[in-house]
Structure 1
Amino acid sequence: MALTATGIGSGLDITNIVNVLVDAEKLPKEAAFNKAEDSIKAKVSAIGSLKSDLSAFQTALAKLADGTGLESRKVETGDSQYFTATADKKAQSGTYNIQVTQLAQAHKVAGSAVADQTLAVGEGTLAFTVTGSSFNVAVAGTDNLVDIAAKINEAPDNSGVTATVITSDAGSRLVFSADNTGVDNQISVTATDTTGAGLGNMFNGGALTQLTAPANAIVSIDNQQVTSQSNRVSGAITGVTLDLTQAGSNQTGMLKISRDTETVKNNLTEFVDAYNKLMTSVETLSGYKPDSDRPLQGDAMVRSLASQVRNMVSDRVDQAGGGSIGLFDIGISVDRFGTMTVNNSTLDTALADNMTGVEQLFSTPVTGLGNRLDALAEEYVKTGGVLDSRDSILSGEQRRLDDQKLVFSRKMEQLEARLLKQFNAMDLVVASLNQQSTGLAERLNSLPGVLGR
């Protein structure tokens, strides 16, 4: 008779024995797997942290590499309500008197009014010309004002006209507005009827009314008149763009342009802070420390990055007028602990006396410190770059580890099944022997005794 439960024949706790034997082989290996997986995850996280710090470093470098953060200009317009202004690196320091005589206006014309805008107008073609370019719109016999406006606005060759239906006390009419201001952008409309005379009666001759005359902007800069097609005036003052907001007869505003030294200092300080954060991150992730578990400790890739950055910040850049300039010359130095610091007094002097040299140090194409550091960082953070490649390697290691864990799990299942089978077989043998022993004892006890007879 077969046993239906383990251990009955032998009296042993077979399930527990098997579990202990399997765990003796499984637990050390699982601990190794977990340690390897934790290491991979820690490295992936470290790579992500390094990539983030490099990107922040690039953000700080961007303002210096192209020169925009070193050539900031401060624009002051007082409380002027007549214009605003912006200045780029080409703008020279100076003060200007600005008077806005006239704002630029867009040309607007309108057809004759109708009582009901939902009624059809006529059938034919509307031809438009603006800024020397022409386009035609076909009008169907069923089109009302709204339909015609939509066709004009959606015309693929529309050269600068926007149509709108305006309804007033006098009725509804189509209004055509030039998209651009200035006298060069006048609208002309010609209607050609194929059926009836509805289009011609609405848009030809005296039926077409001018609502707003086209006008150029007129502005006086230090008593010198400047005419512009738009209310944005560029080029009148080198490097300065004026946005005209209101005309004021005989109202003069003041425009002052100066170097924005404070912003330049802030941008340089951001660079120093980003550098220190990056170097601290490198040390935290890969620097040697006894009894530590740093994820990238001693990693050659990270140490190479740090070495290249340190070498670059100690380099000097040739100046256009001769000689060279380095960070130390403008008050930025690296101490023996690897921390970059700023000497504000030296920096102020450099910004006041050698701003051109500061710009050349960072923003000289290819050889400028900002461009070289940015190019180095880009090699690491770009798609398919050094850090992406390392991530790919770690992902491969994780996949192989997952495969190993799966194979090992199946091996342990097989081991457990084999041990259970072996112990159950042993249990059956012991049960059988116990039954035989019991039967033999009973038979011996039933034999007639020879003593006392």
Structure 2
Amino acid sequence: MALTATGIGSGLDISNIVSVLVDAEKTPKETLFTKTETKIDAKVSAMGTLKSSLSTFQDAVKKLQSGEFLNIRTVSTGDSDFFTAKADQYSQPGSYEIKVEQLAQSQKLAGANVTDPTLGVGEGSLDFSVNGESFSIAIEFTDSLSSIASKINSSSVNSGVTATVIKSDAGSRLIFTSKDTGTDNQMTVLATDSSGTGLSNMFNGASLETLQEAKNSIISIDGQTLTSQSNTIDDAISGVTFSLTKAEVGSISTLTIAQDTESVKKNIETFVSAYNSLLTSMDSLSSFDVDEGTASALQGDSIIRSLESQLRKMVSERVSVDGVESALYELGISTDRDGKLSIDDDKLTDAVTNNMSLIEGVFSTSDTGVAYKFDELVKTYTKSGGVIDSRNNTYTSEKSRISDQREAFTLKMEQLEARLLKQFNAMDLIVSQLNSQSSSLTNSLASLPGVIRE
């Protein structure tokens, strides 16, 4: 008769014995799998930290690629209500006397008033001409003022007219406004009736009232008068854009443009700080703690070694500025014994104040400037398919391979467990049979004649 439970024949806890034997085989290997996966995860995380540090450094570098962030200007208009101004790197520091004598404005024309704006006003067309461009709008007999305005505003051939319905005590009327300011953008409106005289009565001749004339802006700079179609003027002073807000004949404002040395210094200081933070991050990611005997995730990694080597090389490289070889140290930026940058404030202030061409040349010379070289270096690491992406792909492959190995090992352990159970159960059955035979033999001997029982 077969055994229905393990261990009955031998009295052994077979399930526990098999479990202990399987665990002895399984635990070291699974521990190794887990340890390897943990190391890979730590490296992936470290690569993410490195990429973030590189991106922060790159943001600081980009601000030094353009004169927009290096050759910065401050603009002062005092307490003027008449204009605001912006100055780019091409503007020259100086002071200017400004008079805003007239603002540019759009032309506004209005049709005749009607009592009920929901009724149709006529049938035919409205023809507009603005700055040499013309377009026509077909008007149906049932079109209300709002419908006419909608047709004008939504027309794909509209060359610069906005239509609005305005209600007043006198009734409702259609207002036409040129979209752009200045006398070049004056409108002409002609109503043509195909039935009746409704459109002509509303929009032709004396029925078309001028609410606002088209005007050009007039500005005086140091006594020189400039007329413009717009209230935004960007060709009066080289590198300066005016936005006119108010006009008053005779009122004088002062525009002062100066070199913004503090902002330039701040951008350079931000670059130095970002560079040093990047080195600190790289050192942390690749360090070894002697006291604890533990290594960081990228300790000894070739990516860190290569990147650090390239960064330090670029810091010391010279750049040709107007035929003269220059470098960061001439701006007061030097490296210390740990490879980090430090700033000689007096030397940097002097360069920013008196030699902006040197600042721009060292940092923003196209392709060869320090800012361009650093940017290109960072891109090789952070771009899609770059060094970091390639390394992460390697880590992904390693984790996938470990996952496959773990799955295969799990199957192997299941087979080992099944084999051991089968072997122990076979042994248990034999022991049970031997015990049974031993008991039967003992009973037979005990029943023989002459056997004396004590």
TM-score with structure 1 length normalisation? 0.94
Which secondary structure does the structure 1 equivalent of 2:67 belong to?
coil
- The 3-state SS of whatever aligns with 1:65 is coil
**Residue by residue, what CA displacement relative to the aligned partner does 1:313-343 show, whole Å, maximum 9, x if unpaired?**
10111121x4221111111100111121001
Distance 1:195 1:6 in 2: 108
Change (3 A) 1:193 1:29: farther
CA distance in 2, matches of 1:177, 1:46: 61
SS state at 2:11 partner: coil
Shift in CA distance, 315/429, structure 1 to aligned 2, threshold 3 Å: same
- The secondary structure found in structure 2 opposite 1:120 is coil
Structure 1 residue matching 2:310: 3-state secondary structure: helix
Contact 2:6/2:428 (8 A) holds in 1: yes
Instruction: Tell me the distance in 2 between the aligned counterparts of 1:280 and 1:327.
Output: 20
Q: Kindly state the Cα deviation for residue 355 of structure 1 after the two structures are TM-superposed.
A: 1.7
Shift in CA distance, 238/22, structure 1 to aligned 2, threshold 3 Å: same
Q: Which residue of 1 aligns with 2:404?
A: 403
Task: Please name the residue that 1:274 is paired with.
Answer: 274
SS in 1 for 2:69: coil
Return 5+ residue gaps in structure 1 as ranges: none
Q: Secondary structure at the match of 1:69?
A: helix
| Cα distance change, pair 341–304 in 1 and its aligned pair in 2 (3 A) | same
Aligned partner of 2:108 in structure 1 is 108
- Does the C-alpha gap of structure 1 residues 426 and 136 become closer, same or farther in structure 2, counting only changes over 3 Å? farther
Equivalent in the alignment of 1:421: 422
Distance apart, 1:53 and its partner CA? 1.1
Distance in 2 of aligned mates of 1:245 and 1:69: 27
Query: 1:48 deviation in Å?
Result: 1.1
Deviations 1:254-306 (A, max 9, x none): 11001000111101100100110111112222245553321111221221111
Determine the structure 1 residue equivalent to 2:154.
Answer: 154
SS of residue matched to 2:236: strand
Residues 124-146 of structure 1, C-alpha deviation per residue, up to 9 Å, x if partnerless?
33222222222223333433222
Cα distance in structure 1, aligned partners of 2:347 and 2:114: 76
Calculate percent identity across the aligned residue pairs: 55
- Per-residue CA distance 1:160-212 (angstroms, 9 max, x = gap): 22222222222222222222111111122223333433333322222222221
TM-score, length basis structure 2: 0.94
* Counterpart mapping for 1:9-88 below 5 A: 9-88=9-88
| CA distance in 1 between partners of 2:266 and 2:436 (Å) | 94
3-state DSSP of counterpart to 1:235: coil
Q: 1:414 to 1:71 in 2, by over 3 A?
A: same
> Are 1:211 and 2:211 an aligned pair?
yes
1:184 counterpart SS class: helix
One-letter code aligned to 2:406: K
1:436 aligned partner: 437
Whole-angstrom CA distance in 1 between matches of 2:60 and 2:368:
18
CA distance in 1, matches of 2:59, 2:310: 19
The 3-state SS of whatever aligns with 2:247 is: coil
Within a 5 Å distance, the mapping from 1:130-279 to structure 2 comes to 130-279=130-279
Which AA in structure 2 matches 1:311?
Answer: K
Is it true that 1:300 corresponds to 2:302 in the alignment? yes
The answer to whether the 8 A contact 1:99-1:253 is kept is yes
Q: Per the alignment, do residues 16 and 348 of structure 1 end up closer, same or farther by CA in structure 2, a change over 3 Å counting?
A: same
Could you tell me how far 1:451 is from its partner in structure 2? 5.6
Q: Secondary structure at the match of 1:159?
A: coil
Report if aligned partners of 1:67, 1:362 keep a CA contact under 8 Å in 2: no
* Mapping 1:83-94, distance limit 5 Å: 83-94=83-94
Q: Which residue of 317, 320, 323 corresponds with 1:318?
A: 320
| 1:347 aligns to 2:348 (yes or no) | yes
Equivalent pair of 2:130/2:188 in contact (CA under 8 Å): yes
Maintained 8 Å contact 2:287/2:295? no
- Larger CA deviation: 99-108 vs 206-215: 206-215
**SS in structure 2 opposite 1:115?**
coil
* 8 A Cα contact 1:85 1:242, kept in partner: yes
Unaligned runs of 5+ in 2: none
**How far apart, in 2, do the equivalents of 1:449 and 1:187 lie?**
144
The CA distance in 1 between the partners of 2:75 and 2:446, in whole Å, is 121
Partners of 1:191 and 1:447 in 2: how far apart?
141
**Any idea what SS the aligned residue of 2:97 has?**
strand
1:363 aligns with 2:388: no
Q: Distance in 1 between matches of 2:167 and 2:441?
A: 120
